[in-house]
Amino acid sequence: MQKLQKPFVILAAGALLYMAHRAYGWPGLAAAGGGLMMWLLLHVTRLMTVLKRAANQPIGHVGSAVMLNAKLRPGVTLMHVTAQTRSLGERLSEEGIEPEVYRWTDNGHSSVTAEFQGGKLQRWKLDRPATE
């Protein structure tokens, strides 16, 4: 499904532009192009906002690993998890190797280790330090 998503979006945008031109001519093409550009700019703005917030935190730090564990759901994107934690994860896997593995640790040394396959969360594990 992941491999078909990007070509599908491009084909859908092309079909929208084509239908807008067929129905309304050049003004329709301009309106549909403007709408697509606004959609693209909204996504870029959200990405930049998430990354700006994450830049102000140490890599791999989260306020509460237990709360992060409770909020995670299968299939969410790495950007969504980064937005939740407001921190980039500490990369545990090699660059370019699937699955990508990241870890977030809190002040109490509890940590959440998450595996992403194709940019989507597949599984995660909460590790808590042993209590004495």
Strand intervals (E) in the chain:
90-91, 100-105, 111-117, 120-127
Q: What is the pLDDT of residues 102-123, one digit of tens each?
A: 999 999 999 999 999 988 999 9
Backbone angles phi, psi at 14, to 5 degrees: -65, -40
> What is the predicted pLDDT for the residue at 32?
96
Given this model, what pLDDT does residue 2 score? Answer: 57
Rounded mean pLDDT, 67-89: 93
What phi and psi, each to the nearest 5 degrees, are found at residue 17?
A: -65, -40
Mind listing the pLDDT tens digit for each residue in 3-62? 667 788 899 999 999 999 999 999 999 999 999 999 999 999 999 999 999 988 899 999
Q: Three-class SS of residue 73?
A: coil
Of 38 and 97, the one with more pLDDT = 38
The confidence score (pLDDT) of residue 3 equals 64
Mapped onto helix, strand or coil, the DSSP state of residue 61 is: strand
Is the pTM above the cut of 0.85? no
Q: Return the higher-pLDDT residue of 91 and 5.
A: 91
Task: Specify the pLDDT at position 107.
Answer: 92
Q: What is the pLDDT of residue 56?
A: 86
Q: How far apart are CA 65 and CA 95, in angstroms?
A: 24
